[in-house]
Structure 1
Amino acid sequence: MKRTSLLAVAVILCVSGMAQSKKTANKTPKATSLLWEISGNGLTKSSYVLGTMHALCKKDFELKPKVAKALDAATRLYLEVDFTDPEEMDAMGKMMQSAKTISEQLNPQQTEAMRSALKLYNLTLEQADHYTIAGLYSLFALKAIDCPQEEIKMMELELIDRAVKDKKTVGGLEKIREQSNYLEQIYSWDDCIDLLKKGSRYKAASGAMVAAYKNEDLPALDHALKNPDFMSEKAEALLLTRRNNNWAGQMPGIMQKECTVFAVGAGHLWGTAGLLALLRRQGYQVKPVLDQGR
């Protein structure tokens, strides 16, 4: 598995899933869990949905016993994307690199602005010239993680390692190309330049996000993540609402067959447009799995 490519995609997923609408954020009862049990509505066995922060510094990373227990009970693991699929791994590389250079697509004014923004990442335009919009987005996302790349741990890799070791089925709710298409629809080159310039500000805000995540406090995480400086209404509609509805439409058929753990970005869980609410509307019982002693 290509760790560098996977890391880039992981941080894209992490940022793209980190906001909810201010209009809907506080209409779901307060809960303090990242792991939720799904039952009822004809299911013979419970399944689970786990909110992840795709990439964390090693010092902040923890796979809790309740998550390990859910994985042990499940026969299948579904991620946003199936990183065990060789075709998806190949698509990952293509998502980050383009045959058409950035220089060919920018006017002189944009070119100078891009050069200036890339200096913040110790890159020249010549070095980044074959990046796609998704590739540039990954630079912005990586800047938010406050540790060296070699100290970053990815929840997806940990979950996949456990699933493969136990000979469980691994699947994905969407394709890498779909995620790339969303980013291309949302962000122009001017948007990319603006995001790159905001990278240090996003890093400064990430501490509150990590703290809320470690406390398993979805409302607090939602509050920390829904910053309009980093998530436009269009981005929310495509990266969150549309994808949540797509996933909620697939999950019943998957759960009906076998006990499954669905692991998606924690930003997809909360609010009236979040997965928890969407599953409840379909008639499922969705309840938090709490740590022992809580």
Structure 2
Amino acid sequence: MHIRISLLVLGLLVSLVSLSQEPIKPEPEIKSQSMLWKISGNGLTKPSYLFGTWHLLCRNEIIFKNKVKLAISQTEQLMMQNFITYLSDEDYFERIESNEEIQQGLPIYKIDDRKKRKKLLKLINEHLDLKVDLVKRTKYDVKRMTPFEVYFASLHSFIEGCDRLGSFDSLLYNHYAKQSAPIGSLNERKSFLISLQNANFINVDSLTFYLENIESQKAMAMEMKRHYYVDEDLPNLIKQYEIFISNEFTNPELVNKYLLSQDVSTWVDAMQMWIGLKPTFISVNATYLLGDKGVIQTLRSRGFTVEPIY
């Protein structure tokens, strides 16, 4: 009897040792190759949906996949990152006037270095298609624009064959407005513009660099479009975008702080309130979905289940 007990104990010890030697397998990570995410749990009776938009697309490239259309049909209200962004079609000069208190930077004609000034103006003339309303301004002069203004008035020029950028939010707004559905915004346009300014990735030297290397910039814009539509590969999309906007004349810390790593906690506060009332379609730039402090992880930390829809 004593021998049997000893053998039993020995067998248990061997089992425990073998178990302890097995490597601990981490929990499988949820794939992040999707631009559409389902939000459920935490008391929600119906799911809401989080959609990652993209801004470097031509207006004829704004296409909702069937899964996104289905999500839209299952929601009763819309929440966007910004009510109106720099992609809007309103008059350029009225837009500048309404934000005149925002520091836009130094106009090109005030650049002290004459060679830099002439070089930049030459590159702008060669490569950029400025979309500004000239009807009301007969004496309009590009030299009076800042590099910041030039860049965002001509961002479509970095897409081959494009005459104007498109906007997912514009189509979404029109759709929900026709249904008289509630429409909300996660932050104000002014704060959005200030963040862009603080990132300081558009200055005389960086804009000159972008234009001198416009063919490689166009190639990267095409690659990002593939990551967005074909692969729905968020990590590589974000990685490529960081390369696209960065060069030796930009400050990585400022770009990361003000452009790539927005504080989304207040956004999620608003999301939480809205999705608790009705199924909501939430539209946020894809750049802000991932990461420890991104929208997806912040929602999960609040107790919600956030799953990709393939």
TM-score, normalization by structure 2: 0.71
Give, as a single letter, the amino acid of the residue that structure 2 aligns with 1:278.
T
List aligned pairs for 1:1-294, cutoff 5 A: 29-57=30-58, 60-83=61-84, 93-94=95-96, 102-103=107-108, 105-109=110-114, 110-121=116-127, 127-139=141-153, 141-149=155-163, 152-187=165-200, 188-215=203-230, 216-227=232-243, 230=246, 232-290=252-310
Identity %: 24
Q: In structure 2, how many angstroms separate the alpha carbons of the residues matched to 1:237 and 1:93?
A: 25
Distance 1:182 1:285, change over 3 A: same
The structural deviation recorded for 1:120 is 3.3
Return closer, same or farther for 1:130/1:261 CA change in 2, 3 Å cut-off.
Answer: farther
Unpaired stretches in structure 2, ≥5 consecutive residues: 1-27, 131-139
Pair 39,122 (structure 1): closer, same or farther in 2 beyond 3 Å: closer
Task: Report the equivalent of 1:7.
Answer: none
The residue number in structure 2 matching 1:16 is none
Q: In the TM superposition, what whole-angstrom CA distance separates every residue of 1:52-100 from its partner, at most 9, and x where no partner exists?
A: 123524664421222122222222111121149xxx9689722798699
Confirm or deny: 8 A CA contact 2:59 2:167 kept in the other structure: no
| Cα shift at 1:263 | 0.8
State the secondary structure of the residue aligned to 1:129: helix
Which amino acid is 1:106 matched to?
I
Q: CA–CA distance in 1 between the matches of 2:172 and 2:76? A: 13
Structure of greater relative contact order (alpha carbons < 8 Å, 6+ residues apart): 1
3-state SS in 1 of match to 2:282: strand
SS of 2:141's partner is helix
Cα distance in 2 between the residues matched to 1:203 and 1:173: 30
The structure with more radius of gyration:
2
Letter in 1 for 2:268: A
The residue matched to 1:138 in structure 2 has which SS? helix
SS at match of 2:281: strand
Q: CA deviation at 1:51?
A: 0.7
Q: Distance in 1 between matches of 2:261 and 2:269?
A: 12
Q: C-alpha distance in 2, partners of 1:177/1:133? A: 18
Alignment size in residue pairs: 259
108 and 191 in structure 1: CA distance in 2 versus 1, 3 angstrom threshold: same
Flag the 1:183–1:208 CA change in 2: closer, same or farther, 3 A: same
Checking the alignment, whether the CA contact within 8 Å between 2:99 and 2:190 is kept in structure 1 is no
Q: Is the 8 A contact 2:228 2:234 kept in 1?
A: yes
- Deviation string for 1:166-194 (max 9, x for gaps)? 22122211122112211222224444444
2:69 aligned partner, one-letter code? A
- Alignment RMSD: 3.4
